[in-house]
Amino acid sequence: MSVEEKDWIFVSDAHFTGKDPAEMESFLRFLDSEQERMGHLVILGDLFEFFFGFRQSSSSREKSFAFPEYLPVLEHLQRLYHHGIRIKYFEGNHDFFLRDLFTEQFGMKVEVYSEGVEEGLGERKAFIAHGDLSNPGQWKYRVFRKILKNRWTYAMIHLAGPRITRRVAARLGETSYRNYHATVSLTPPPVFRSFAERKFSEGFDLVILGHSHVAEEVSEWVGGRRCLYFNVGAWRDGRSFLRFTPPDRFELSRFMDDSREIGR
């Protein structure tokens, strides 16, 4: 079976910190369980609580890599890559300047996107993104994001170094968590569905997002087309993921540690 005939797996918002190895080990078991049937792994951002593409400064990875506690996951992705699985990474609001990190420090070609992109999935025209730009009313966040994600900030963060940067990022992360994710909502935020509907009107047949931390599936008829919107939800909160089996099957599921799936 060619890689194009195999499944696409979408995951988002694991927010691994490295402080709870059991959580990362569960994710690695999930990847192992999917390895033979998976052709593409799409990470929709915020795989880690904070991830920045610091340059490697010496030949010793453990000493020079800024996030040694993340290595079990990253080295597992490296094994998947060498197994022939294609990996795409959509930067979220906790990810910064990762475009060269995977190639330079792990020797694997990962397609990294800082914005949403168009992708063909079967015969569907899909829009895929992390989802943090789905709410047009969050203009303060949009300004803050532009300040953070530019080459001048990138240079300043490199000068500050990992130790100082990670302290600042931890404080910002605590504030973000209190404001947006202190309580786990079971109700999908309506702004994401509204965003998907705008994309449908632009001609997209499929929209796949993360960021909301709530898994969601919507089917609508738009101009005679059956359009689908999926929010993958947060791996951290429910180990949810989206499976696309070519040519046209989509399924939101949850991973169980005994390797069974519960369809949603």
Q: pLDDT under 50 in the chain at which residues?
A: 59-62, 259-264
pLDDT at 37: 96
Beta-carbon contacts of residue 193 (< 8 Å; ≥ 6 apart): 216, 218, 229
Amino acid at 149: K
Q: Contact, 217 vs 252, CB < 8 A? A: yes
pLDDT at 224: 93
pLDDT at 239: 95
Q: Contact, 240 vs 234, CB < 8 A? A: yes
pLDDT at 261: 45
Determine the Cα–Cα distance for residues 108 and 41; give it in Å rounded to an integer: 13
CB-based burial, 106-122: b 16+ in 10 Å, e otherwise = beeebebbbebeebebe
Tell me the CATH class for 3-263.
alpha beta
Distances (CA, A) of 179 to 25, 91, 139: 29, 20, 16
Beta-carbon contacts of residue 144 (< 8 Å; ≥ 6 apart): none
pLDDT at 147: 85
pLDDT at 162: 74
Retrieve residue 219's tokens.
């089917």
pLDDT at 179: 56
User: For residue 257, how far is the Cα from the chain centroid?
Assistant: 21
pLDDT at 62: 43
pLDDT at 173: 60
pLDDT at 209: 98
